[in-house]
Structure 1
């Protein structure tokens, strides 16, 4: 208990804000994801197709999402990163999408703390997956951004596991689960 209080005071004295609730945990991860240019390009741009003269989504000739008009940026983020698994529109659109939501929450041996799972589902259309294994590129980027970094809660975000999950017709889906230490209150 004394170690925990000492650690919390250390963060507070450094001016760091420690957000511990489920909402704060999810929102802080969301902020990291929605502001990453490489991830947004992987979600937004189609796979490279030399026959159609479509460059790689990370090609510097393509416009940066962060340099687009603010309305266009908001539209891209709002269409590609969701807090709930709503996929009705994906039957008519062929886009990549992330679902970010809370998973299981379990108490720890410390009566003040809980382990909070953060779930990130990746959905990609078959043509993106067959074009450049897009879901794996997106997963790798998410792991670079989130795993073993101090984003939210106490300590670093840890990777728990990943698994292929059922997807819509003509889509591939993969679920990644991360864990953070959070306050019970």
Structure 2
């Protein structure tokens, strides 16, 4: 069983994807930048070529520590409107032999509701995550399959969330 290595493989795949990191990190501009209560505005594209690449930036480790977490951590989502993916191991079920099993990995996507209202950022991030994971050989002994997705009912105040579960065949050492 290589749960740790599987999680590292998946993290590495996601952490170098510029599109995903931009969607998680960049926020739409405020209508009035001097007013902390000003709503966000439409029109600023987080994927614009005019924005700085994040994956190659000096700040990437600090950014990843906020937006791509390898555990179910939400207690720090309190006031700063950020987006985050929490990823962790889910259910593990043996197959019909000793050497392989079905391993689930869970991705909880959280987006501040003020950001989601502007450009449907939650679904944009979920679509991008699915592009990177579904039917791809990221880790384990098979292509990754999508199992289920659903709203997260108990999110931190002012955040919306969506849970996505993927499955692959894990091999015993």
Alignment TM-score > 0.5, same fold: yes
Distance 1:104 1:88 in 2: 23
Deviation at 1:88, TM superposition (A): 2.2
Distance 2:98 2:111 in 1: 40
RMSD of Structure 2 on Structure 1 (CA): 1.7
Partner of 1:16: none
Partner of 1:138: 125
Distance 1:29 1:162 in 2: 18
Partner of 2:49: 60
Partner of 1:91: 78
1:178 alignment partner, one of 155, 163, 166:
166
Q: Is the 8 A contact 1:48 1:57 kept in 2?
A: no
- Scaled by the length of structure 1, the TM-score of the pair is 0.83
Gaps of 5+ in 1: 1-19
Distance 2:75 2:4 in 1: 25
Partner of 1:9: none
- Scaled by the length of structure 2, the TM-score of the pair is 0.89
Distance 1:47 1:29 in 2: 28
Distance 1:153 1:182 in 2: 5
Q: Is the 8 A contact 1:48 1:131 kept in 2?
A: no
Partner of 2:26: 45
1:28 matched to 2:9 = yes
1:107 matched to 2:88 = no
Q: Is the 8 A contact 2:15 2:64 kept in 1?
A: yes
Deviation at 1:178, TM superposition (A): 0.2
Secondary structure of the residue that 2:143 maps to in structure 1? Answer: strand
Deviation at 1:94, TM superposition (A): 1.1
Partner of 1:155: 142
Deviation at 1:176, TM superposition (A): 0.2
Higher helix share: 1
Gaps of 5+ in 2: 34-40
